[in-house]
Structure 1
Amino acid sequence: MNIELLIRLKSKGIEFAEGLSQSEFLSINQVYGVEFPFELKEFYSVALPISNNFYNWHDFSSENVSKIKRALKRPFDDIYEMADEVYWCEDWGVEPDENKKANVIRLKLEKAPKLIPIYLHRYMPMVNKENVPIISVCDTDVIYYGENFESYLEIEFGDKRQSDIEFEEIEHVPFWSDLL
């Protein structure tokens, strides 16, 4: 973990709690059915951002659990409901007619990796890879917001711009990368 980045984030007013313990990671897996990718787990084991709009994974109150569960479902529900508005990815083959397109997209969505909420509508796909990208999901609008977690933090809270993202370096994430 980049301690310099953590210090810069604190200087920008981001509040942190102590990192998550192994038992908390296990509880998160049981309660939410998610496992953090290595980079996120490494960061969250040292420090957990808890400022406004971050998700507090320490808090297992029923209100917070409901909030995180809604955040986990939101991108899937939005894409499911608006499947007929999703642009067809050429890598998926020949585009079906309008009557079948939404159903095909919904089937692909069922196989898509879960998205772990990070901050507002920024998510990290739950995939077992290094340098997992952060994506922003608003309805059917899906964009990369960082090549990895550290890059994302630099873009959202630092001096890096989203236009600085090196798209060719980003690991493909099934379904979600296809929506870009």
Structure 2
Amino acid sequence: MISKFTDEVFEKIEEIYGIVLPLEFKRLYRDLEQLPNGWYNWADFSRENTDYLKKQMEDVMGEIADEIDELEWNDNWGECPNTIHEVHHFIKSKMKSAPALMPIVSHRYIACEPTSVSPVFSIVGSEMIYYSASLKDFLKGKTITQETALTDLTQISFWSEIAQ
């Protein structure tokens, strides 16, 4: 049994982690009687758990930054700069303004943006793909297929651009 996810719990999560919870996260978690196996418990406000989740959020950003050379330039960003230094600077500034990534389970993340649908990303180092079209689909075990047009999925600033 988990602590019930209520408006007060959601507000506390946003305050502790400095994030904005996606609307789908709130809808889905509010109705959970228990967390699926292995899912992180965002309602556990123990120091050990909050430190762990903060570290997960920091680590994923650090891993992406450490492998910045592996990221492909997205044509939507305009013309690619001439030097690697300029490319790194541009991508790092995009990362800083991108919504935080919130771990759900293992290396599956959602973006902290108040979207009604939260695509689930699978992230290992700088490798990032859309994994599920929504948190609800992820809970049901539904994943993205090759037939899925990525442009039909909810677009998240920066993260969708490097996941495509």
For the 8 Å contact 1:78–1:140, the answer to whether it is kept is yes
Distance in 2 (CA, whole Å) between partners of 1:145 and 1:22 is 28
- How far 1:37 sits from its partner (Å)? 1.1
| 1:146 to partner: Cα distance | 1.0
Normalised TM-score (structure 2): 0.87
Structure 2 residue 20 is matched with structure 1 residue 35: yes
For the 8 Å contact 2:131–2:143, the answer to whether it is kept is no
The answer to whether the 8 Å contact 2:137/2:143 transfers is: no
Structure possessing the higher relative contact order (Cα contacts under 8 Å, 6 or more residues apart): 2
Gaps of 5+ in 1: 1-15
| Contact persistence 1:118–1:124 (CA under 8 A) | yes
Aligned partner of 2:153 among 147, 170, 179: 170
Give the secondary structure class of the aligned counterpart of 1:145: strand
Q: Which of the residues 143, 156, 161 maps onto 2:129?
A: 143
Mapped pair 1:87 → 2:72: yes
Question: Aligned in 2, Cα 1:25/1:76: closer, same or farther, shift over 3 Å?
Answer: same
TM-score normalised by L of structure 1: 0.80
Gaps of at least 5 residues in structure 2 are none
Aligned position for 1:119: 105
SS in 1 for 2:140: helix
Distance 1:50 1:171 in 2: 24
Sequence identity (%): 28
Kindly report which structure 2 residues correspond to 1:1-180, keeping only aligned pairs within 5 A, or say none.
17-47=2-32, 48-49=34-35, 51-52=37-38, 54-96=39-81, 97-155=83-141, 160-163=142-145, 165-180=148-163
For residues 21 and 129 of structure 1, do their structure 2 counterparts lie closer, same or farther at Cα, with a shift above 3 Å needed?
A: closer
Q: CA deviation at 1:161?
A: 4.5
Code of the residue aligned with 1:134 in structure 2: it is V
What is the CA RMSD across the aligned residues, in angstroms?
1.8
Question: Given residue 22 of structure 1, which amino acid in structure 2 is its aligned partner?
Answer: D
> CA contact under 8 A between 1:109 and 1:175: conserved in structure 2?
yes
Structure 2 SS opposite 1:88: coil
Alignment coverage as a number of residue pairs: 160
Q: What amino acid is the match of 2:123?
A: V
